Amino acid sequence: MPFEWFLALRYLRDAKGQTALILGGVAIGVSVIVFLSALIGGLQASLIEKTLGAQPHITLHVPREAPRPLVEPTAKVAIARQIEETSQRLRSIDQWPTVMAAVERIPGVIATSPSINGAGFAVRSGAKRPIVIRGVDRERVLAIIDLRKRMVAGHFELDGGTVAIGAKLAADLGATVGDKLRISSSEGVEDVVTIGGIFRLGNEGVDGSWLVTSLRHAQSLYGLAGGVTTIELKVADVFAAERIAGEVQSRTGIPADSWMKINAELLAGLSAQSSSKLMIQFFVILAVALGIASVLIVSVVQKSREIGILRAVGTPRGRILRVFLIQGGLLGIGGSVVGCAFGALLAKLFESLARDPGGAPKFPVQIDASLLLFASALATGVGLLAATIPARRAAALDPATAIRNG
Amino acid sequence: MADPSPPLLLVKNVVKEYGDVARTRALGGVDLTVGRGELVALVGPSGSGKSTLLNIIGLLDRPTSGSVALGSTETTALDDRGLTDVRARMLGFIFQFHHLLPAFTALENVMIPAWGHDGWPSAKMRTDAADILREVGLGDRIDYRSTNLSGGQQQRVAIARALLRRPPLVLADEPTGNLDTASSAEVLDLMRRFNRDLGTTFIIVTHDLRIAESCDRIIELVDGVVTSDRRR
């Protein structure tokens, strides 16, 4: 075994109590990082999944209609006028197949789906509820929001006047699969549809208002033959949605809103959570670093005469430096292995104990190899870094002074 | 016809001063030449500069002025790495308090000069260390931790450590200062034997007149200056 490894291991072994204490300290620090990261990561993933499970990553919609003044002022004529906002009609995106084809070529966009979104009412027996009628291309919309997985009753079929509705809307109307509903669009067109499936997306607003039908059916309800009011996109990296939305808008000239813009408050909350996590990680790691550094500094002081002897009999400075760096690294690795195992165990235990009445975890945790590798690499790196000061101090010891004064 | 090989040790006008403002002169221009195979006693009252001179000869300290040459190597201009290499190759050290590493066995302690310098242990290192431990009478204590050995045994391990790489010059700073009479005699006998059998040069700093009288040459230092240098 190389001399520096042998000596480092002997030093750690001979100071058993000290080594055990600092290993325990590092392990606790790492377990706090793993536990918190798993918990916060799980919560964030769950929130994002719930949010994006019910909406596209990017939505292209028809530009708002701007009022057109009847008379414009000139250099000679000043005009006093009051311009009122134009009421927004339901209109189709111009040349939407061309727009959609252009958008599909943008890097990062992995799915597109044309749709019509309009307001309306659903009536059954004495119950009447305001609804959002969503006309979609069945195959394309599944690539954006996989409604098949969210069906709680029936199937996601949109043929021949069959529709799918949200679970809360179904409950409010007292309807179930196979029942008929009378619906009317905001354009005044009425129809009778059959409920083919009931879905639950986990978003009360959506589950209480959505009625999903075929694109062709929606086009007839809103008098938009061949038209669509929105084009919905899915992107590979959800956090690149805002950037891609900007690119889509600049290429097509059609307003594009990302989920990040629509859910700005959620993002701010997630960002605050991430900041808190980083702060906690920073202080935990600082404590770990100080612990390792202080133990090794004490070790250097205790061993300074031995270091002087080693230097006197021909041990190079670099080898002495490495003896203490190895100790720091080993404390980091040892502590992180124990800490990762303990932190993961704690997180899983927490997840299994706190469950809602349906049996789903209240606090889903997210533990993956990258988190454990990150925590281990962080603790080991910090161990090495923390050992730098005592190691340099040891290597710089003057052998004559160290032997004389110990 | 003059001997063309340089002396083992050549100390030229070495001055050592301590302190930045109020300077204290520990050595005031020491000249010394020591040949191969000599057994030299360095004597003098406390504070006369013996240990300072030994540290400078041992390349553990640098002189304020003057020069030290070991064989054909002029050491004054060497950097830390160079000094470490010369120490490993040419010098052995024996200290008053043996200074063995308590975490190591006797064998591992003896291997340190070679192991610590080269990095990896070798079979030859182990064999040499075991052989020399047998030579100092500790063949049955090879795997003992140094803390489980008596004071005399620890000092014998220290002598074995100093001689592992067969350095031409061994510096001993009060090697018997912490030992009883019987152990002192054993240690002295060992040094005399290695001097005779291996031709190793010893420079022994001592207050013990009996040890000094048993050496071939006695150099006396008073107030940092060599006041007498006599051969017996």
Q: Tens digits of per-residue pLDDT, B101-127?
A: 888 899 999 998 888 887 788 888 889
- Which pLDDT score, from 0 to 100, does residue A84 have? 75
pTM of full prediction above 0.90: no
- Which pLDDT score, from 0 to 100, does residue B4 have? 61
For residue B112, give the nearest of A310, A316, A398 by CB distance: A310
Which of B86, B144, B75 has its CA nearest to residue B113? Answer: B86
Q: Compute the nearest-CA separation of B213 from chain A (Å).
A: 27
- CA–CA separation, A90 vs A224, rounded Å? 8
- CA–CA separation, B136 vs B130, rounded Å? 10
Query: In this model, does residue B1 exceed pLDDT 50?
Result: no
For residue B103, give the nearest of A11, A309, A313 by CB distance: A11
Q: Does B145 touch chain A (CB under 8 A)?
A: no
Q: Which residue has the tokens 């195979």?
A: B37
What average pLDDT does this structure show over A170-185? 93
> Chain A neighbours among B 190-219 (CB < 8 Å)?
none
- CA–CA separation, B232 vs B226, rounded Å? 17
Contacts of A14 in chain B (CB under 8 A): 102-103
| DSSP at A285 | H
Q: Which residue has the tokens 């133990």?
A: A295
A345, HSE (Cβ side, Cα atoms, 13 Å):
10
Q: Is the dihedral of CA A135, A141, A147, A148 positive or negative?
A: positive
Q: Do the Cβ atoms of B6 and B42 come closer than 8 Å?
A: no
What average pLDDT does this structure show over A153-169? 91
Q: Compute the nearest-CA separation of A297 from chain B (Å).
A: 18
> Chain B neighbours among A 216-275 (CB < 8 Å)?
none
Triad A335, A336, A339: Cα angle to 5°: 85
Beta partners for residue A130, in sequence order: A121
Q: Does B126 touch chain A (CB under 8 A)?
A: no
Interface test with B, best of A7, A307, A309, A321 (most B CBs within 10 A): A309
CB contact under 8 A, B103 and A10: yes
Triad B199, B200, B203: Cα angle to 5°: 135
pLDDT in tens, A224-240: 888 999 999 999 988 89
Q: How confident is the model at residue B100 (pLDDT cuts 50, 70, 90)?
A: confident
ipTM of model: 0.83
CB contact under 8 A, A2 and B161: no
Query: In this model, does residue A53 exceed pLDDT 80?
Result: no
β strands within A188-254, DSSP E: 190-199, 210-214, 230-235
Which of A5, A18, A9 has its CA nearest to residue A301? Answer: A18
Q: Comparing B34 with A45, which gets the higher pLDDT?
A: B34
Q: Does A373 touch chain B (CB under 8 A)?
A: no
> Which residues, at least 6 apart from B213, have a Cβ–Cβ distance to it below 8 Å?
B232
CB contact under 8 A, A305 and B99: yes
At A390, the amino acid letter reads P
Nearest CA in chain B to A303: B101
| DSSP at B36 | T
SS3 A114: strand
β strands within A137-189, DSSP E: 151-154, 162-166, 180-185
Number of A/B CB contacts below 8 angstroms equals 71
> Which residues, at least 6 apart from A379, have a Cβ–Cβ distance to it below 8 Å?
A26, A29, A30, A285, A288, A332, A333, A335, A336, A339
Which of A26, A29, A1, A34 has its CA nearest to residue A330? Answer: A26
Nearest CA in chain A to B98: A309
- Which pLDDT score, from 0 to 100, does residue A406 have? 58
Parallel/antiparallel/unpaired status of strands A151-154 and A58-61: unpaired
Q: Compute the nearest-CA separation of B34 from chain A (Å).
A: 21
CB contact under 8 A, A403 and B60: yes
Which of B108, B100, B99, B98 has its CA nearest to residue B129? Answer: B108
> Which residues, at least 6 apart from A358, have a Cβ–Cβ distance to it below 8 Å?
none
Q: How confident is the model at residue A211 (pLDDT cuts 50, 70, 90)?
A: very high
- CA–CA separation, A281 vs A276, rounded Å? 9
CB contact under 8 A, B116 and A310: yes
Length of chain A: 406
Q: Which residue has the tokens 């300074």?
A: A304
- Which pLDDT score, from 0 to 100, does residue A198 have? 95
Q: Which residue has the tokens 């208002």?
A: A209
Contacts of A313 in chain B (CB under 8 A): 87-88, 92-93, 112-113, 116-117, 161
Which stretch of A37-51, A112-126, A193-207 has the lowest confidence by average pLDDT? A37-51
Q: Compute the nearest-CA separation of B232 from chain A (Å).
A: 31
Helix A304-312 × helix A264-302 angle, to 10°: 70
CB contact under 8 A, A313 and B116: yes
Contacts of A404 in chain B (CB under 8 A): 51
Q: Does B78 touch chain A (CB under 8 A)?
A: no
